[in-house]
């Protein structure tokens, strides 16, 4: 982050250092919950001062930027509905939801387990770089979580989280890994493919990027348990779901030979990411298989070699049913 920030006292800044085997990554995680506290502690004022809050708190500013980047019209409907529900005599959506307690527990776990988080993340990165991640907690917006460069934004009010602080922090681990991963990978994926070759390159990059982040966060449950599992983990643990994900991924790659590129990109978004999560499941299964059959060091070294090499090394040890057909 280039600009200087003045953080409120509710922000927890934790810098942790680790020398791990042959790498020494320094991860700084800054959690800013000032926006969500301002909104939840005084929902009536948050409604009246809506525009001011969205313009002055960095988390909501990032949300506005998300709408612009995604070409999605700004929508304050969920924000206003939820806050009005909180103020009503008979709340329905927000009933029995102690959002402030949830964010307090996230902070407590981070304070207690921050060193373990850092150690875990660093052990799956190949070099010795320093990076900082900013996690902004807000409430009642259009996306439950998103990230861009070094910024993460999480909607503490999303039903997805089930008010579970462990689940939220596990998602933060997933997103932080992306930040570290992008320091080392040779791949590019922030573009819309125009040819079948570009489509294949991006697909393999996403499989490695999202697969590694999913697997690293999944493994983090061994050290920081949560009583609620991400749905992606349930897919990873189900053999039929894994088989389906490989079949879907291979079909998309095969379709690249003949399909219209625009319709293919849309299909890949829905099947690979938005709905079926095929790229997440295949990618995390690949990471799991490589680590179990080679070593963590071998898996980590592939981050520097990109998605195609990641898949090629996996294919050498995979059974025919679960190969990526290149």
CA distances from 271 to 266, 274, 277 (A): 9, 6, 6
Q: By CB neighbour count within 10 A (0-12 exposed, 13-18 middle, 19+ buried), where does 202 fall?
A: buried
Mean pLDDT within 187-212: 93
Mean pLDDT within 91-106: 91
What proportion of the chain, given as a percentage, has pLDDT over 70? 92
SS3 state of residue 151: strand
- Closest listed residue to residue 302, CA positions, set 177, 124, 174, 130: 124
CA gap 179, 130 in Å, rounded:
11
Mean pLDDT within 208-227: 95
Q: What's the pLDDT tens digit per position in 237-295?
A: 999 999 999 999 999 999 999 999 999 999 999 999 989 999 999 999 999 999 999 99
**pLDDT given at position 127:** 82
Question: Is residue 191 scored above 90 in pLDDT?
Answer: no
**pLDDT given at position 97:** 87
**pLDDT given at position 25:** 66
CA gap 4, 12 in Å, rounded:
16
**pLDDT given at position 322:** 95
Half-sphere exposure of 197 (CA within 13 A, CB side): 0
Percent helix / strand / coil, the chain, rounded to 5:
60, 10, 30
Question: Is residue 17 scored above 80 in pLDDT?
Answer: no
Mean pLDDT within 28-55: 95
CA gap 63, 239 in Å, rounded:
37
**pLDDT given at position 9:** 35
- Closest listed residue to residue 27, CA positions, set 108, 107, 135, 140: 135
- Closest listed residue to residue 107, CA positions, set 216, 28, 29: 29
Q: What's the pLDDT tens digit per position in 118-135?
A: 889 989 999 888 888 999
Q: What's the pLDDT tens digit per position in 136-184?
A: 999 999 899 988 888 999 999 999 998 899 999 999 999 999 989 999 9
Do the Cβ atoms of 177 and 280 come closer than 8 Å?
A: no
What proportion of the chain, given as a percentage, has pLDDT over 90? 73
Question: Is residue 14 scored above 70 in pLDDT?
Answer: no
Mean pLDDT within 62-90: 91
Work out the pLDDT band at 12, boundaries 50, 70, 90. very low
Question: Is residue 200 scored above 90 in pLDDT?
Answer: yes
**pLDDT given at position 253:** 97
- Closest listed residue to residue 211, CA positions, set 235, 239, 247, 238: 235
CA gap 171, 228 in Å, rounded:
12
pTM of the model: 0.86
Question: Is residue 11 scored above 70 in pLDDT?
Answer: no
CA gap 326, 324 in Å, rounded:
6
CA gap 142, 306 in Å, rounded:
32
- Closest listed residue to residue 118, CA positions, set 103, 108, 130: 130
The residue with greater pLDDT, 9 or 269, is 269
């Amino acid at each position: 982050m280039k600009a200087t920030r003045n953080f409120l006292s509710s922000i927890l800044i934790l810098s942790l250092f680790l020398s791990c085997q042959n790498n020494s990554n320094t991860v700084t995680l800054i959690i800013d919950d000032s926006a969500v506290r301002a909104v939840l502690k005084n929902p009536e004022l948050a409604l009246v001062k809506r525009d001011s809050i969205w313009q002055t708190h960095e988390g909501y500013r990032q949300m506005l930027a998300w709408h612009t980047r995604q070409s999605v019209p700004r929508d304050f409907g969920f924000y206003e509905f939820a806050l009005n529900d909180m103020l009503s005599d008979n709340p329905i959506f927000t009933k029995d939801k102690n959002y402030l307690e949830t964010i307090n527990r996230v902070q407590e776990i981070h304070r207690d387990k921050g060193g373990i988080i850092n150690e875990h993340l660093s052990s799956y990165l190949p070099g010795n770089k320093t990076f900082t991640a900013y996690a902004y907690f807000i409430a009642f917006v259009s996306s439950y979580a998103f990230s861009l460069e070094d910024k993460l934004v999480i909607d503490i009010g999303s039903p997805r989280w089930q008010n579970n602080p462990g689940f939220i922090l596990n998602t933060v681990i997933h997103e932080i890994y992306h930040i570290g991963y992008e320091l080392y990978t040779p791949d590019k994926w922030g573009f819309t493919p125009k040819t079948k070759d570009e489509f294949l390159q991006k697909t393999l990059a996403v499989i490695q990027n999202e697969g590694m982040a999913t697997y690293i966060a999944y493994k983090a449950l061994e050290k920081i348990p949560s009583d609620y599992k991400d749905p992606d983990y349930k897919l990873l643990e189900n053999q039929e779901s894994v088989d389906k994900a490989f079949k879907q991924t291979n079909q998309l790659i095969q379709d690249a030979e003949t399909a219209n590129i625009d319709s293919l990109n849309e299909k890949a978004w829905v099947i690979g990411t938005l709905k079926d999560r095929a790229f997440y499941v295949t990618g995390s299964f690949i990471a799991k298989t490589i680590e179990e059959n080679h070593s963590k060091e071998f898996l980590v070294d592939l981050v520097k070699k990109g998605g195609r090499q990641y898949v090629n090394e996996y294919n050498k040890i995979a059974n025919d049913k679960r190969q990526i057909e290149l």
